[in-house]
């Protein structure tokens, strides 16, 4: 890619679609964001994505845009650019998203899973730069996971590999959104952290969260739990400690399984700092092989909300290497 040309990176989330041009150094510009909340059909979401990409392309002039890389939630077949299903996008089942976007935009498109895209971004210009074997875990609405081995995304046999959030951490635990009991996501996602705080309050324990939520535990968010924990609230600290511990159980298991050099942990919850990172290390020391743990690093993500967008653009370039 010459310095002049860009790839449009697209990050589709549950509430917004975000687009920006990404140059060959991973720098972004012409950022555009459109709401997809309330879009009732597959077609409505596709139309918003096309609109968002078109606006960003117009910002550059179309002749400067080499192609489009999309990061989307759900199970993706990368080779065909098909979304097999996306639990949070209405009607997205067996959707040939790449073909649809190429047809409407008249430009080459590549599709990637959002967690994989974020990992590709962090590996390229973020916290995982220069690291060959790493695992990215993003604590958000769910617990996203992606595995990079030998500088390549590990997709598994039919595209569903890397689902760290759905590894079992409690044998007969809380039923996860995926339907299985005791997944990591059911304890360490942002909604799960809020839920566990609510449960503690309903059991009658005293906490500053009781005052903050004005007697209505339904209004408690993970950010409130993290804030209360930081201020020394024992209930909030116990919830964060449990999330960190179960995250550490998964991290230690993955360390023994794959011997990575690095875990990159992303999402708003990492602002809790040692409240999350210390229990992770406690479990690594309890459970992981000393040999594997001796070279291991666990770091916060570096690219924030832009990781998926940058990585989706990078995935386009990696999938379609230019002849030069
Ligand atoms: Zn699950």
Residue 1 pLDDT > 70, yes or no? no
Confidence at residue 40, expressed as pLDDT on a 0 to 100 scale? 83
Domain span(s) for CATH 3.30.420.40 in the chain: 6-120+306-319, 130-301
Q: What is the pLDDT of residues 55-76, one digit of tens each?
A: 999 999 889 999 999 999 999 9
* pLDDT beyond 80 at 3: no
Cα(21) to centroid(ligand 1), Å? 34
Determine the pLDDT at residue 53: 97
For residue 308, report the distance from its CA to the centre of ligand 1, in Å. 22
Among 270, 291, 266, smallest CA distance to 279 is for: 270
**H or E segment at 19?**
strand 16-22
Distance 251 CA to ligand 1 centre (A): 16
Give this prediction's pTM. 0.94
Distance of CA 265 to the CA centre of its chain: 9
143, 156 contact by CB (below 8 A):
no
Q: What is the pLDDT of residues 132-156, one digit of tens each?
A: 999 999 998 899 999 999 999 999 9
Distance in Å, CA 169 to ligand 1 centroid: 10
Q: What is the distance in A from the centroid of ligand 1 to the CA of 296? A: 26
Q: What's the pLDDT at 15?
A: 87
Residues 84-139 have pLDDT tens digits of 998 778 788 999 999 999 999 999 999 999 999 999 999 999 999 999 999 999 99
Exposure string (b/e) for 28-40, b if CB count within 10 Å is 16 or more? bebebeeebeebe
* DSSP string for 149-170: ETTEE---SSS-TT-GGGSBSS
Average pLDDT over residues 284-301: 97
pLDDT exceeds cutoff 90 at 22: yes
Average pLDDT over residues 25-43: 91
Whole-number Å distance, alpha carbon 243 to ligand 1 midpoint, is: 15
**In the chain, what percentage of residues exceed pLDDT 90?**
83
Cα of 298 from ligand 1 centre, angstroms: 23
Neighbours of 106 (CB within 10 A): 8
φ/ψ (deg, to 5) at 140: -135, -135
What are the tens digits of pLDDT across the range 199-241? 999 888 889 999 898 888 899 999 999 999 999 999 999 999 9
How far is Cα 42 from Cα 121, in angstroms, rounded to an integer?
27
pLDDT number for residue 323: 60
For residue 138, the CA-to-ligand 1 centroid distance in Å is 14
- CA of 196 from ligand 1 middle (Å) equals 17
CATH among 3.30.420.40, 1.10.3720.10, 2.60.120.20, 3.30.1600.10 for 6-120+306-319: 3.30.420.40
Instruction: Find the 264 Cα to ligand 1 centroid distance in Å.
Output: 20
- Give the model's pLDDT for residue 324: 52
CB 177 within 8 A of CB 142: yes
Mean pLDDT rounded to a whole number for the chain: 93
Q: If 0-12 CB within 10 Å is exposed, 13-18 middle and 19+ buried, where does residue 50 land?
A: middle
Comparing C-alpha atoms, which of 124, 116, 169, 123 is closest to residue 24? 124
pLDDT, tens only, 178-203: 999 999 999 999 999 999 999 999 88
Q: From ligand 1's centre to the CA of 165, what distance in Å?
A: 6
Report residue 197 as tokens.
Answer: 């705080």
Q: Could you give the CA distance from residue 244 to residue 283 in angstroms, rounded to a whole number?
A: 9
Ligand 1 centre from 166 Cα, in Å?
Answer: 4
Q: Decide which of 1.10.3720.10, 3.30.420.40, 3.30.750.24, 3.90.550.10 is the CATH code for 130-301.
A: 3.30.420.40
242, pLDDT greater than 90:
yes
């Amino acid at each position: 890619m010459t310095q002049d040309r860009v790839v449009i990176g697209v990050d589709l989330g549950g509430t917004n679609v975000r687009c920006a041009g990404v140059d060959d150094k991973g720098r972004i510009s012409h950022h555009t964001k459109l709401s997809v909340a309330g879009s009732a059909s597959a077609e409505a979401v596709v139309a918003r994505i096309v609109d968002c990409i078109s606006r960003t392309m117009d910002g550059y002039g179309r002749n400067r845009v080499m192609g489009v890389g999309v990061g989307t939630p759900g199970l993706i077949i990368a080779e065909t650019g098909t979304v097999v299903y996306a639990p949070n996008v209405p009607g997205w089942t067996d959707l040939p998203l790449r073909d649809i976007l190429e047809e409407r935009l008249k430009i080459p498109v590549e599709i990637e899973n959002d967690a994989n895209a974020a990992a590709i971004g962090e590996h390229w210009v973020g916290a995982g730069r220069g690291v060959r074997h790493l695992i990215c875990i993003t604590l958000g609405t769910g617990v996203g996971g992606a595995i990079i081995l030998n500088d390549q995304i590990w997709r598994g046999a039919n595209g569903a590999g890397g689902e760290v959030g759905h590894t079992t951490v409690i044998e007969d635990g809380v039923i996860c959104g995926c339907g299985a009991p005791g997944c990591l996501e059911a304890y360490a996602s942002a909604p799960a952290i809020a839920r566990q705080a609510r449960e503690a309050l309903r059991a009658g324990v005293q906490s500053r969260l009781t005052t903050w939520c004005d007697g209505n535990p339904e209004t408690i968010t993970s950010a409130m739990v993290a804030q209360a924990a930081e201020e020394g609230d024992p209930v909030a600290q116990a919830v964060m400690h449990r999330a960190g511990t179960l995250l550490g159980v998964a991290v230690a298991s993955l360390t023994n399984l794959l011997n990575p050099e690095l875990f990159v942990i992303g999402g708003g919850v990492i602002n809790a700092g040692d409240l999350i990172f210390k229990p992770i290390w406690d479990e690594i020391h309890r459970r992981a092989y000393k040999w594997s743990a001796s070279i291991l690093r666990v770091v916060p993500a570096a690219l924030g909300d832009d990781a998926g967008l940058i990585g989706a653009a990078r995935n386009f370039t990696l999938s379609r290497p230019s002849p030069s």
